[in-house]
Structure 1
Amino acid sequence: MSLAAIAARRALLAPRPPAAPDQALHGAVARLALRCLYAELTLYPKPGLVSLVDNGSHGDMNAETFMRSLFALRHYFSRICRAGAHGALFGELKRLGIEAEARMLLATRGINTHRGAIFSLGLLCAAIGRARAQGVALTPAGLRAVLLLRWGEELAAHTVPGAQQSNGLRVADLHGAGGAREEAALGLPSVFETGLPALRATLAAGRGLQQARIDALFALMARVSDTNVFHRGGAAGAATVREQAQAFLDAGGTGDPHWRERALACHRLFVARRISPGGAADLLAATCLVHAATSGTLP
């Protein structure tokens, strides 16, 4: 680690006099996180995923299920943002996430709608709170630095599987896939290095937020090792997702006049093969949160 990095770490972790609780910020961050999850739900065409139009590749959930989940999470993002602002250790963030997951499962009658989003968006909300409390600029680089410097070591330790593994961890062991834990330990590289640049490039080209989110989703699908896909479709399903997504991007993404037809064809293929890139969808919501939080929308 360079001397500059060591100095930055010491400055970030050094105790400071507690700032006055910024309830307005915590509430605004929570509302922003929920809006980003809602934006992901309503996006269409979205290959294999639940939307307001159809249930994608899922027979056990629909848009109503996701809305019940969102309602159950409305206080979680505020609480974890506040915890981050107060310098909570990762154990406290994890406890809040476990409680949020329990509320989600109660609201959805046991259906996992947002487990990955609880983890990734929760960490980002904590990082936003910590950045504001420490006077770090709300930029993508600033947020990622806070995430890695404050919780990076604990997140790296968290990637070591315990005795009881989730479906995602079992699939990761079997196929060498990454997943939410590895993403977080590396500072959410798929968000900061793939999703966000794709979203911003589309906006810079003069296209709207819907197209930008579609392009970001396909960029994530092309590059993310998604345990959701491996769990449902195995290695063949994962290869299909990567190939279809890359073909969409190679054709120009939403810059192609026929992009909607291409996306719909991909959606129909994924539904026929019961493929659902839920991990990419969670990372898209996280990408939307970083974009919105670093665009001057917070108080």
Structure 2
Amino acid sequence: MNCLALSDLEQFAAALADGIRAELYLTPKPGLVDLCDNGSHDDLTLELMNRSAGMMREYLAELAVAIYRQQPFPELQQIGLKAEQRMLAELQSNCHRGGIFLSGLLLSAYGECRSDNPEALSNAVARLAQRHFLQARLTGSHGQQARARYHTGGIIAECLNGLPGLFQIALPSLIGNLNDLAGSCYLAMARLMQHCDDTTCLHRGGQTGLARLRKAGQELELCLLRGADPVPLLRRQNQEFKTANLTMGGVADLLGLTFGYLDFTNSRHGISSLSLHHKQPSSCPA
């Protein structure tokens, strides 16, 4: 029997779902759905993304039980695939397809290594990713097309390397300044914008679009390090991204994953949860 209690897996699953919703509520963001607008997504709304986040909670709860029962890895993969199919059928959109894969991989890695230690968990992610990509047949998704066209690793390289975007980029940015929650969230996002080979951005804007994403991340980080209010810059960047039809789904997925992981580890070590993750702001900031 797995020495992890089912409650541990369920707690991590719930935290990951909360993190995905927290990323949605972080406002404003360049090119992404938030409380202000739909960013560069004509086909998405806040309501639709909220429904998708709710489906993510159901999926992760199901996966937690399967991991506890030590179901074989191919069966865990099938749970993720069915969650993708259900989301597409019910919402007519793959709102959180990347989130389904990344959160499922991270939860499965936790079940395998039985530790929330960043190094141990990162190594377990890399091992599971290698197993997955050896077995999986890659489909003709936009991400796969962008990886082939621009010769970039994208989410595959991120996972095979143990999610450095989470453990080496976003997590230290959040931990380093928890007294300023909003600022630390935006700093994590800014650094992910500079690090992530975001295939949603590449699909829409090519290498030029990715370069614009990198530059926007640099501008945001400099703004934050100067102690300036980032909201006016973020609003301007959002308009620029909308004009260029750019978005950054990979950044969003990694940010939500980091929010969930940090909330989970904080709660296990007696540190209060990040309030951003558990309440919905009422409106777009003025």
Shared fold (TM-score, shorter chain, > 0.5): yes
Is 2:117 aligned against 1:117? no
The residue aligned with 2:235 is 264
In 1, the alpha carbon distance for the partners of 2:235 and 2:196 equals 21
Q: What are the ranges of 5 or more consecutive residues in structure 2 without an aligned counterpart?
A: 271-286
- Would the alpha carbon gap of residues 168 and 117 (structure 1) be closer, same or farther in structure 2, given more than 3 Å must change? same
Greater relative CO (CA pairs within 8 A, separation 6+)? 2
The residue aligned with 2:78 is 95
Conservation of the 8 A alpha-carbon contact between 2:80 and 2:100: yes
- Would the alpha carbon gap of residues 168 and 152 (structure 1) be closer, same or farther in structure 2, given more than 3 Å must change? closer
Count matched residues.
270
Conservation of the 8 A alpha-carbon contact between 1:124 and 1:147: yes
Q: What are the ranges of 5 or more consecutive residues in structure 1 without an aligned counterpart?
A: 1-17
RMSD: 2.2
Structure whose alpha-carbon radius of gyration is higher: 1
Q: Percent identity?
A: 30
- Would the alpha carbon gap of residues 21 and 191 (structure 1) be closer, same or farther in structure 2, given more than 3 Å must change? closer
- Matched to 1:121, the amino acid is S
Conservation of the 8 A alpha-carbon contact between 1:85 and 1:126: no
Residue of 139, 146, 162 corresponding to 1:187: 162
The residue aligned with 1:146 is 124
Residue of 214, 226, 243 corresponding to 1:242: 214
Conservation of the 8 A alpha-carbon contact between 2:9 and 2:68: no
Per-residue Cα deviation, 1:238-265 (whole angstroms, up to 9, x for no partner): 1111111112213334x52232222222
Conservation of the 8 A alpha-carbon contact between 2:223 and 2:229: no
The residue aligned with 2:276 is none
Per-residue Cα deviation, 1:33-77 (whole angstroms, up to 9, x for no partner): 221111000001111100122111111111111111122222211
Is 2:49 aligned against 1:49? no
In 2, the alpha carbon distance for the partners of 1:106 and 1:152 equals 26
- Matched to 2:247, the amino acid is S
SS in 2 for 1:84: helix
The residue aligned with 2:58 is 75
Per-residue Cα deviation, 1:256-276 (whole angstroms, up to 9, x for no partner): 223222222211211121111
Is 2:257 aligned against 1:286? yes
Conservation of the 8 A alpha-carbon contact between 2:14 and 2:57: yes
Conservation of the 8 A alpha-carbon contact between 1:178 and 1:226: no
TM-score (norm: length of structure 1):
0.82
Conservation of the 8 A alpha-carbon contact between 2:187 and 2:221: yes
In 2, the alpha carbon distance for the partners of 1:183 and 1:87 equals 26
